[in-house]
């Protein structure tokens, strides 16, 4: 009996005083997106989006803004402006203005990485324009944070954005011989538009790729499972368009002479099917032509893209990582010198597997 | 009250004194028949004997002819088991269980005892608690003889042994321990016999009295003996090597040793094909886990772990809770208590009223409390589902336990969130691991792990694949049937 009483007393004491603070769901301001604008030389402006669920189940947006020096500090100041405690556990997107990205994201990402309640599947993006304005824009159906997250995820799965999140960003940042990339989005006529890709050297944005070249980049960066591509051709003096859909790509690296004068051969296999042709009929010739056209175009773009990377001395396609993982005694410094003059061969192989149910002749 | 004592043989006692004492009861009949050729005294309890037996089988023969000695009378009566004795204790005992005492003279020390007890038993009916759509539709009744008959009918073998005890110094209840010798483990039999024999209590009204007195851990909320109202289930476990305890006056048999998973297996599992049975068992186990954990998890997540809520669900949860003034714990507690109230009220009331209560409570109170903003509709769904899931347990006593152990989990969830639930779960597992049934581990196929027994635990594999008796029961005869012969398929031509 004595034992039981003591046990109950201990459980009661530990249970009551050993609690952590409660965070009751409906009494929180749950942030779904944060954005950072550069305000003045050393100040940044942080904007947080909080979805407000109305009793009639519609969702509206609330944005809280504060200005401070560090990102952690500014998030802390957000609490000051809210009736409910602001919590970070559900942040899905972190947006950075282009100016900030050009200055370097180190300080702002460190915080997201350090907070245990923030998941590493958080998406990062660079915004061309005012971040605050973008986050204040209301979208139907979802709150702004969820909306942007859904759009980026959708474009990762079915579009040209390379797979990205905090974990991958940091992994490519810390990996030797690899540089991170992030998507660039903008607010265009009340819609979120994917503008291109930001190329980073470390955590500093140095260059960007426009949207039309993102297909090639994604194909070189990872295996595409489902995408579309458009080709332009002239048939009997008329401009015709071929739309290739359901594209699947596979890439393969071949690295030679790593220690002396490295040479990389990139094999890129593209498979797809013709879904739309503005010309008369799709013939066997058209297929061969489309294959050749696409092959030439992709090759040309690839070569110029890689030249560009070499000029900026960035390595988003992880050639260095490929070389490092294939040899012992890989020297980073030596590699960086070699990288600029390195020869990259690109072998593209396009095959059109079908042309749709309307049979050509 | 010395007549309670069996065989009280003080010298002052005489048969007359015993009769005198019986006469104090209004239902005791003691008369001399002057019209018959032989004068005799007949005495019995009117409420215990069957008047028809007396009028048909005793009185006509007594009145027909005259007797000199009481032994002549014994030969004349067409009833067996007639006892001629002067043992006062035996006379008392037999008269109190429905025998008729016949004496030739009022002062005789010797008397003739004829069994004429009234056998008013309920008809064998359809099982109500363990109803199954397919399979036998017989259930135990209150009469021990009928119940034993129902079992013996299914096991017509000489090895089926029945040991009877009389327990309760007031109620003198007949308790039968049934087992198949050679199949049931000797140690288990001895444990059962010893524990039943050692019971000291004044009154046994039901088999649950026995269950509570012989179970291994009295402080456990978990029942350690299955109680069943199905004779087919009793016969089934007897054949596996378990021990069945039947109590006169109780329509429930006790089964032991048993394990936790057996409480979640219905007899119907053996009547349908094994795939379906396995699916149903897994469904039941999921339902039980769901029933215990879902409300605590709701409370824990809403209190401490908002990060775990999927984003699409968040709007639903927040909007359903936005107008509720109570914290999640009290909200859940109120709803859980309401459901328990409804269940209790439904169980205490007559069937027809009970159904109305269920509908009134379920629909009216539920909707009203949501509309009044006292509980969220998400929680209402969760609690109702949890209640529904707890009803899937085939053994009633286990479903009561499941109802109960939800509340400590709820308190722990309120205090420490998911960590609290984990701690409560550790305590529960620790308790279950220590629990035994007739000395055999309660959590058996899981711990200690017995691969052979897993064939009939969470799933039920085909009969052909289970040629052995459960390891749990430690039967000396481990083989149920010859696996080889069962596998052989005979051709028509042979």
Helix/strand/coil for B63: helix
For residue range B128-154, what is the model confidence (pLDDT) as tens digits? 888 888 889 999 999 999 999 999 999
Single out the residue of B372, B371, B298, B363 nearest to residue B328, CA to CA.
Answer: B298
Average pLDDT over chain B, rounded to an integer: 87
Whether pLDDT at A57 is above 80: no
> Do B289 and B357 have their domain in common?
yes
Single out the residue of B313, B278, B293, B316 nearest to residue B455, CA to CA.
Answer: B278
Which CA distances in Å does B83 have to B33, B86, B110, B113?
21, 10, 10, 5
Whether pLDDT at A4 is above 50: yes
Look at B274 and A326; give whichever has higher pLDDT.
Answer: B274
Range of the domain at B12: 2-115
For residue range B359-416, what is the model confidence (pLDDT) as tens digits? 777 788 888 888 888 888 899 899 989 988 988 888 889 988 998 999 999 999 998 8
- pLDDT at residue B486, rounded to an integer: 67
Residue B445 lies in a domain: no
Q: How far B182 CA sits from the closest chain A CA (Å)?
A: 44
What integer is the mean pLDDT of A304-319? 90
- pLDDT at residue B6, rounded to an integer: 52
Whether pLDDT at B65 is above 80: no
The pLDDT-based confidence of B426 (bands split at 50, 70, 90) is very high
CB-CB neighbors (< 8 A) of B309 in chain A: 25
Look at B9 and B409; give whichever has higher pLDDT.
Answer: B409
For residue range A223-262, what is the model confidence (pLDDT) as tens digits? 888 888 888 887 777 888 888 888 899 998 888 887 788 8
Of B316, B317, B322, the CB nearest to A55: B322
In sequence order, the 6+-apart residues with CB closer than 8 A to the CB of B40 are B32, B33, B62, B67, B73, B102, B103, B104
> Do B88 and B152 have their domain in common?
no
Give CA–CA dist A262/A255, Å, rounded.
7
Single out the residue of A301, A315, A281 nearest to residue A200, CA to CA.
Answer: A315
DSSP annotation of A77: H
What integer is the mean pLDDT of B85-99? 85
Look at A229 and B107; give whichever has higher pLDDT.
Answer: A229
CB atoms under 10 Å from CB of B109, counted, come to 12
- pLDDT at residue B230, rounded to an integer: 93
- pLDDT at residue B13, rounded to an integer: 67
Burial A255-291 (b: 16+ CB within 10 A, else e): beebeeebebebebbbbbbbeebebeebeeebbebbb
Look at A229 and A281; give whichever has higher pLDDT.
Answer: A229
CA angle, B99 then B171 then B401, to 5°: 140
Residue B110 lies in a domain: yes
Domain extents for chain A?
Answer: 22-211, 223-361
Instruction: Look at residues B115, B133, B152 and tell me which one is the last residue of a structural domain.
Output: B115
Question: In the 3-class helix/strand/coil scheme, how is A276-343 assigned residue by residue?
Answer: EECCCCCCHHHHHHHHHHHHHHHHHHHHHHHHHHHHHCCCCCCHHHHHHCCCCCCCHHHHHHHHHHCE
Of A32, A51, A89, the CB nearest to B306: A89
> Do B107 and B69 have their domain in common?
yes
> Do B92 and B230 have their domain in common?
no
For residue range A167-211, what is the model confidence (pLDDT) as tens digits? 999 999 998 888 999 999 999 888 899 999 999 998 899 999 999
Q: Do B311 and A89 touch (CB under 8 A)?
A: no
Of the ranges B77-91, B201-215, B451-465, which one carries the lowest mean pLDDT score?
A: B77-91
**Residue-by-residue DSSP string for B442-483:** TTTTTTTT-HHHHTBTTSB--GGG--B--GGGT-SS-BSS-H
> Do B243 and B305 have their domain in common?
no
Residue B184 lies in a domain: yes
Of the ranges A80-84, A182-186, A299-303, B72-76, which one carries the lowest mean pLDDT score?
A: B72-76
Residue B480 lies in a domain: no
Give CA–CA dist B56/A12, Å, rounded.
72
Instruction: Look at residues B258, B292, B309 and tell me which one is the last residue of a structural domain.
Output: B258
- pLDDT at residue A359, rounded to an integer: 61
* Inter-axis angle of helices A284-312 and A214-221, nearest 10: 80
Look at B7 and A28; give whichever has higher pLDDT.
Answer: A28
Residue B467 lies in a domain: no
Q: Do B303 and A15 touch (CB under 8 A)?
A: no
Whether pLDDT at A58 is above 90: no
> Do B343 and B415 have their domain in common?
yes
A interface test, pick of B219, B298, B299, B307 with most A CB neighbours within 10 Å: B307
The pLDDT-based confidence of B11 (bands split at 50, 70, 90) is very low
Beta-sheet pairing, B226-228 with B253-256:
antiparallel
Helix/strand/coil for A49: strand
In sequence order, the 6+-apart residues with CB closer than 8 A to the CB of A168 are A180
Which CA distances in Å does B358 have to A223, B128, B353, B401?
59, 19, 9, 21
Instruction: Look at residues B204, B226, B258 and tell me which one is the last residue of a structural domain.
Output: B258
Cis previous bond, B257, omega within 30: yes
Give CA–CA dist A79/A112, Å, rounded.
17
Look at B108 and B309; give whichever has higher pLDDT.
Answer: B309
Give CA–CA dist B425/B421, Å, rounded.
6
CA angle, B423 then B428 then B432, to 5°: 150
The pLDDT-based confidence of B187 (bands split at 50, 70, 90) is very high
Contact B101, B91 (CB under 8 A): yes
Share of chain A above pLDDT 70, in %: 98
Which CA distances in Å does B351 have to A274, B112, B354, B357?
70, 48, 5, 10
Per-range mean pLDDT, top range of A123-137, A219-233, B470-484? A123-137
- pLDDT at residue B212, rounded to an integer: 93
What integer is the mean pLDDT of B446-465? 89
Share of chain B above pLDDT 70, in %: 96
B209-212 contacts, C-beta under 8 A, 24 or more apart: B209/B247, B210/B167, B210/B175, B210/B245, B210/B247, B210/B254, B211/B254
Average pLDDT over chain A, rounded to an integer: 87
- pLDDT at residue B77, rounded to an integer: 81
The pLDDT-based confidence of B4 (bands split at 50, 70, 90) is low
Of A19, A23, A26, the CB nearest to B416: A19
- pLDDT at residue A27, rounded to an integer: 86
Single out the residue of B318, B320, B264 nearest to residue B288, CA to CA.
Answer: B264
Q: Do B319 and A19 touch (CB under 8 A)?
A: no
Q: Do A23 and B322 touch (CB under 8 A)?
A: no
For residue range B282-329, what is the model confidence (pLDDT) as tens digits? 999 999 999 999 999 999 999 999 889 988 888 888 888 888 888 999
Give CA–CA dist B388/B284, Å, rounded.
11
Chain B CA closest to residue A89: B307
Whether pLDDT at B182 is above 70: yes
Residue B453 lies in a domain: no
CB-CB neighbors (< 8 A) of B316 in chain A: 57
- pLDDT at residue B8, rounded to an integer: 47
Backbone Cα Rg of chain B: 30
Residue B319 lies in a domain: yes
Whether pLDDT at B463 is above 50: yes
Count of domains forming chain B: 3
Contact B436, B216 (CB under 8 A): yes
Q: Do A28 and B306 touch (CB under 8 A)?
A: yes
Give CA–CA dist A77/A80, Å, rounded.
5
A253-259 contacts, C-beta under 8 A, 24 or more apart: A253/A319, A253/A322, A255/A319, A255/A322, A255/A323, A255/A326, A258/A323, A258/A326, A258/A327, A258/A330, A259/A327, A259/A329
Architecture of the A223-361 domain: 2-Layer Sandwich (3.30)
CB-CB neighbors (< 8 A) of A144 in chain B: none
Q: Do B302 and A25 touch (CB under 8 A)?
A: yes
Q: How far A7 CA sits from the closest chain B CA (Å)?
A: 13
The pLDDT-based confidence of B222 (bands split at 50, 70, 90) is very high
């Amino acid at each position: 009996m004595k034992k039981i009483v003591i046990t109950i007393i201990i459980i009661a004491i530990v249970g009551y005083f050993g609690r952590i603070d409660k965070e009751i769901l409906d009494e929180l301001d749950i942030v779904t997106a944060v954005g950072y604008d550069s305000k003045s030389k050393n100040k940044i402006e942080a904007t947080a989006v909080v979805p407000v669920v109305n009793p009639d189940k519609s969702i509206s947006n609330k944005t809280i803004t504060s200005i401070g020096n560090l990102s952690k500090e500014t998030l802390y100041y957000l609490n000051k402006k809210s009736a409910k405690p602001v919590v970070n556990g559900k942040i899905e997107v972190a947006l950075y203005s282009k100016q900030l990205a050009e200055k370097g994201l180190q300080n702002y990402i460190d915080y997201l990485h350090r907070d245990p309640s923030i998941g590493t599947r958080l998406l990062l993006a660079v915004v061309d324009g005012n971040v605050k304005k973008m986050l204040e824009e209301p979208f139907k159906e979802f709150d702004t944070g969820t909306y942007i997250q859904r759009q980026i995820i959708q474009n990762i799965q079915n579009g040209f954005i390379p797979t990205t999140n905090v974990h991958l960003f940091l992994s490519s940042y810390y990996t030797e011989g690899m540089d991170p990339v992030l998507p660039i989005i903008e607010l265009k006529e009340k819609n979120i538009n994917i503008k291109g890709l930001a190329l980073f050297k470390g955590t500093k944005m140095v260059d960007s790729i426009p949207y039309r070249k993102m297909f090639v980049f994604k194909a070189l960066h990872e295996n595409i499972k489902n995408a579309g591509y458009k080709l332009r051709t002239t048939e009997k003096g008329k401009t015709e368009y071929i739309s290739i859909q359901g594209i699947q790509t596979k890439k393969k690296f071949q690295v030679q002479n790593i220690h002396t004068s490295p040479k990389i051969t990139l094999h890129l296999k593209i498979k797809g099917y013709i879904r739309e042709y503005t010309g008369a009929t799709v013939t066997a010739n058209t297929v061969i032509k489309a294959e050749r056209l696409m092959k030439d175009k992709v090759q040309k773009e690839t070569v110029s893209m890689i030249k560009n990377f070499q000029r900026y001395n960035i390595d988003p396609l992880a050639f260095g990582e490929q070389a490092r993982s294939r040899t012992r005694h890989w020297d980073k410094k030596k590699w960086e010198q070699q990288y600029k003059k390195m020869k990259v061969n690109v072998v593209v192989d396009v095959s059109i597997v079908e042309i749709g149910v309307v049979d050509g002749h | 009250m010395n007549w309670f004592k069996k065989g009280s043989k003080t010298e002052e006692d005489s048969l007359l004194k015993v009769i005198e004492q019986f006469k104090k009861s209004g239902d005791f009949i003691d008369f001399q028949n002057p019209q018959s050729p032989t004068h005799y005294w007949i005495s019995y309890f009117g409420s215990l004997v069957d008047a028809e037996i007396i009028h048909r089988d005793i009185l006509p023969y007594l009145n027909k002819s005259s007797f000199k000695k009481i032994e002549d009378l014994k030969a004349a009566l067409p009833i067996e088991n007639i006892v001629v004795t002067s043992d006062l204790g035996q006379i008392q005992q037999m008269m109190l269980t429905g025998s008729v005492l016949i004496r030739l003279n009022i002062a005789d020390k010797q008397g003739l005892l004829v069994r004429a007890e009234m056998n008013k038993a309920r008809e064998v009916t359809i099982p109500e608690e363990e109803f199954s759509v397919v399979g036998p539709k017989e259930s135990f009744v209150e009469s021990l003889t009928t119940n034993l008959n129902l079992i013996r009918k299914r096991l017509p073998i000489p090895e089926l042994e029945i040991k009877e005890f009389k327990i309760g110094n007031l109620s003198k209840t007949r308790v039968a321990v049934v087992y198949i010798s050679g199949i049931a483990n000797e140690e288990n039999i001895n444990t059962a016999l010893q524990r039943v024999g050692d019971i000291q209590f004044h009154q046994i009204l039901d088999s649950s009295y026995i269950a509570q007195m012989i179970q291994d851990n009295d402080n456990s909320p978990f029942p350690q003996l299955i109680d069943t109202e199905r004779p087919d289930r009793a016969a089934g476990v007897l054949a596996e090597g378990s021990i069945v305890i039947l109590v006169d006056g109780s329509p429930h048999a006790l089964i032991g040793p048993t394990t936790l998973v057996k409480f979640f297996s219905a007899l119907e599992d053996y009547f349908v094909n094994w795939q379906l049975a396995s699916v149903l068992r897994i469904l039941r186990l999921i339902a039980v886990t769901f029933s215990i954990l879902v409300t605590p998890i709701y409370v824990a997540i809403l209190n401490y772990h908002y990060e775990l809520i999927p984003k699409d669900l968040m709007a639903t949860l927040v909007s359903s809770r936005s107008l509720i003034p109570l914290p999640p714990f009290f909200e859940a507690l109120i709803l859980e208590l309401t459901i328990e109230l409804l269940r209790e009220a439904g169980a205490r009331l007559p069937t027809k009223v009970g159904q109305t209560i269920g509908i009134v409570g379920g629909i009216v109170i539920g909707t009203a409390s949501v509309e009044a903003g006292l509980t969220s509709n998400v929680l209402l769904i969760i609690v109702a589902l949890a209640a529904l899931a707890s009803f899937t347990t085939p053994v009633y006593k286990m479903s009561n336990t499941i109802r109960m152990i939800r509340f400590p989990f709820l308190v722990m969830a309120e205090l420490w969130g998911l960590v609290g639930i984990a701690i409560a779960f550790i305590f529960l597992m620790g308790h279950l691991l220590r629990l035994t049934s007739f000395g055999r581990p309660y959590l058996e196929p899981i711990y200690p792990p017995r691969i052979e027994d897993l064939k009939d635990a969470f799933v039920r594999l085909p009969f052909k694949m289970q040629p052995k008796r459960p390891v749990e029961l430690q039967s000396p005869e481990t083989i149920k049937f010859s696996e080889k012969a069962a596998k052989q398929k005979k051709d028509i031509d042979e």
